[in-house]
Amino acid sequence: MRFNASATTRINTRAYERGLRRALGGMSDDVKTAVGRTRIDVQNEARRRAPVDTGRLRSSIVSREESSGRAVGYTVGTNVKYAEDVENGTAPHVIVPKNGKALYWPGARHPVGKVNHPGTRAQPFMRPAIEMTEIFFRANLSQVRAGRGRR
């Protein structure tokens, strides 16, 4: 089925943009400060929730600000390859040797050709931290606007 109809609408946004700039001009520094604090809060929450064995995953969680013009945001993440498996868990799978013909580990009775791994349960740490963004942002913006001390 084809539709052969279209509509064009023009909206003069200049006045709107001027008003928006005036309204946001006073709070843009406050918003930027609150976003920066929120970035650190989310990063720290992800670190707090990350399971610890060696501490590598926890210490790898970092954040960075991403700004473009008036838009300000951030990214929180990790470069550890197994982070996604920790966050989401893994299904049962077979482990085979990468080098050589057999697997061996201290305490094993003998080398083996493969291991049937039962999988791992999910241990979400990043998703729950990100879900707290709005709570952190609202609290930080209120603190900044109230003029309370810096962290």
Greatest alpha-carbon span in the chain: 78
Residue among 19, 16, 41, 48 at smallest CA distance from 144: 41
Q: Which residues contact 22 (CB under 8 A, 6 or more apart)?
A: none
Q: What is the pLDDT of residue 94?
A: 95
Q: Would you say the pTM of this structure is higher than 0.75?
A: no
Collapsed DSSP state (helix, strand, coil) of residue 104: coil
Count of C-beta atoms within a 10 Å radius of residue 140: 22
Whether the CB-CB separation of 96 and 114 falls below 8 Å is answered with yes
Q: What is the pLDDT of residue 29?
A: 77
What is the gyration radius of the CA atoms in the chain, in angstroms?
25
How confident is the chain (151 residues) per 10-residue block, as mean pLDDT?
40 62 63 89 96 95 82 87 94 91 86 92 94 92 75 50
Strand 93-95 and strand 115-117: the pairing is: antiparallel
Q: Which residues contact 35 (CB under 8 A, 6 or more apart)?
A: 65, 72, 73, 74, 137, 140
Q: What is the pLDDT of residue 81?
A: 92
Residue-wise pLDDT for 28-55, tens only, equals 678 888 889 999 999 999 999 999 999 9
Domains of the chain, residue spans:
24-86+124-146
Q: What is the pLDDT of residue 15?
A: 66
Q: In 1-22, which positions are buried (b, 16+ CB within 10 angstroms) versus exposed (e)?
A: eeeeeeeeeeeeeeeeeeeeee
